[in-house]
Structure 1
Amino acid sequence: MKPYNEALQLRNEIIKLHHIKKWNLLTAPSQPLSRIKNNISTKVIDKSKHVQAIKALKRRRFSFSFYRSSNKHQQQHGQSLCHQTIGNKVIELLKSCDLIAGELQDSFFALFNKGQFISYHTDGGAGKYAFIYQLSIGWQERFGGQLELYPRKIKFYKRVITPKFSTLTILKLSHPMPHSVRLLNNPVYKHRITISGWVE
């Protein structure tokens, strides 16, 4: 999608966006009245929310824990311009193949720390296609965080995609394509960063 140096610059800009108003810790299930601030600049995940998500994962219930860029304050920090640029390029690509005639539904940065994950799920009616643009450098299998695809809709048949810098994955949601993100075991200096979203 982007030349290497341009993608590297984008990645570095995302890592610098550690202000609390720029990120939300997303978990499910979560404790809705938790008052602990969600700041990705700390090395400790908000335990009150994250623990609930881990418990649900162990019970094989749908759950997730990761950081997502905040749309609530986007007018203040303007970070949406970065991920929307990628989303618009995905639209151009899909339109050039006559696959869509629609628009960008949503886009966001996602960042995963050690112990975070997304369990088996589909994106439902979020759009016609989902996209995941990887900005993870030097990723190793032992770090976890692989994108798992289940093209036959059964959990024991899957395709595993390890994060690779500046690569794009597009999922056709009318299939649908169940997917998950493996539990992370990455060092603190390794960042699993993506730009994701949906197009109609």
Structure 2
Amino acid sequence: MAIRLDFQTEKKQGSLLITEESESNKTDVIRGFFSLFGFEKEPMQTTVYSPEIVVHSQGKAEEIQKQVSEAINQRLQQLESRPSKDEVEIKKPELINSKRTLNPTIGEMIGGAPQQEAPPEEPEWYQTGIKNKEGVPHYKLRYWCKNPQCRDRSNDYIKEDQKTVKCRKCGQKLLVRQAADEHMKRDEWGNFFIADKLAP
């Protein structure tokens, strides 16, 4: 076992590391170390450092050496009595709401579990763009109202030969035109007709 001594005065400082096991050698070496600082056998104030051990003492070198040995032995016993990493059991906290029970939840007790409704079926005209009103086909139209106070945008369904359409919000008349280059063809948004100009 090694002993390390660090000593400092106003004028001098020094360190000593003893690795031999003989008690008489340790005492002689410690006395010689302190004699370099002008201390022979008189009491002195010093601090002794050993791995993770600090001992403050006032007295002779033999007393310091004895206290250091006792402190080292106590520290070794503490280290040996500590459980190893393999023996330490790590406990993780339980996750919130992770326990399963047979009891109903508060939501089930209040009004039952919420049931998911099936999404409503889309009407056929959403896909075809043709809505039959009283047996007459009406075709999808997209309009943009040009009234500066309105500027409404919406879809409507009109007859094939209809030339104008009214804005639903302000009643402004708009001219109807084909949405695609060919007659009765749909554009990329599924519109047959577009109304985006003011009617005279």
The alignment's TM-score, normalised by the length of structure 1, stands at 0.23
The alignment's TM-score, normalised by the length of structure 2, stands at 0.23
Structure scoring higher RCO (CA < 8 A, sep ≥ 6) equals: 1
**Radius of gyration: which is bigger?**
2
